[in-house]
Structure 1
């Protein structure tokens, strides 16, 4: 029809349609909700993993403090357990600093004494080695640690014995600093006991002075059985 403003399909095809699609506020809100949900889910899973990792160790404490199977523990259970200070000034025998975190993930049976290591010190180190071997197939879950509280050089023969596999971890730490973590029984020196530290780095057990190795082993057996599968199979030597 003459004078009509209508366009033919060919005109539309020739000029094309210039259309721009904009995201609506609703789309942005949905994206934000999905991101928030993923964040919440991630945090929830992290909490679940942490709880699953800690559960066996918590079970061991529950077994000792609440159920107390087969009578009381031979040693003293430290309640509440005492975390290893993050700034504990540990050094290896070469004088190099050692990170506190390097001692985690394993049960630690700890001897404390000076570098001269006479009489009782030698007895404790021997007992420490024997106790670990007496644990049988559980022995790889326990590390032997000697905390040397002075700068006295170790005798070559002693160093050689301690290096025999499975080697004893020997670290120096000032007695004053160590005393802010480990504590002896009343009237006893810090060197008078064996100490047990759990895989989270918490001191939780102390032997009596002049400990009976067979009775110590019973305490160790109970704790390791109650916490099976939490810690590592053995720190590389």
Structure 2
């Protein structure tokens, strides 16, 4: 029987041709994480681009925005809302569109009705981009809504969505200006479900319309 070759010589001859298993696993894990990060960046890039273009790289001659940026971002809370058929659905089901949001109790007063008219008309004023926008009234209780409001603003075409959400959850998600209430203004939510902007009390609809036109121009998402 020929003499056995020393194990050290055998290892040297192999030249490291059998890579370390744990090193291969680590490399594969890092590669998978990088691929996942790249996928997330691709998915979020349209909204990121719109934020950068709107808040950082201003168009030449452009003025500052009218609405106040909500910082830090407030993603949609994991809560249920009731739709027009009294069906319970997640708030997140509204993702995918730009949302113009207002909130009030079911006993909608004159100021409330004015906001409903305003968000409906702002949507209509976006021309071919109007399908990217959904006006929403978050009703804070289970009371009966005046049928005249439903007939005027909740019509199937270009209407405002009448949805019900717990008043406490509404206030946690929609921050009011100092000394004001969430009911005093209109909010803008991006298609990823992030509360993006708050407009001042008694807002100028023409200026809201201008902000929205710029955002829709710079972002093709939603």
| Greater radius of gyration (CA) | 1
Of residues 152-161 and 35-44 in structure 1, the stretch that sits farther from structure 2 once superposed is: 35-44
In structure 1, the partner of 2:196 is: 204
In structure 2, the partner of 1:21 is: none
Residue 65 (structure 1) shift: 2.8
Separation of aligned partners in 2, 1:49 and 1:137: 30
Paired residues for 1:3-14 under 5 Å: none
Give the ranges of 4+ consecutive aligned residues of structure 1 lying more than 4 Å apart after TM superposition: 33-46
- Match of 1:143, SS state, is strand
In structure 1, the partner of 2:103 is: 112
In structure 1, the partner of 2:44 is: 54
| Equivalent residue in structure 2 for 1:156, among 137, 147, 157 | 147
1:184–1:190 CA contact under 8 A, matched in 2: yes
- Match of 2:74, SS state, is strand
Count of residues in correspondence between the two structures: 204
TM-score (ref. length: structure 2): 0.80
In structure 1, the partner of 2:136 is: 145
Separation of aligned partners in 2, 1:116 and 1:52: 44
Task: List alignment gaps of at least 5 residues for structure 1.
Answer: 1-28, 232-237
Task: List alignment gaps of at least 5 residues for structure 2.
Answer: 1-18
Root mean square deviation of aligned Cα = 2.6
1:89–1:177 CA contact under 8 A, matched in 2: no
Change (3 A) 1:34 1:91: same
TM-score (ref. length: structure 1): 0.75
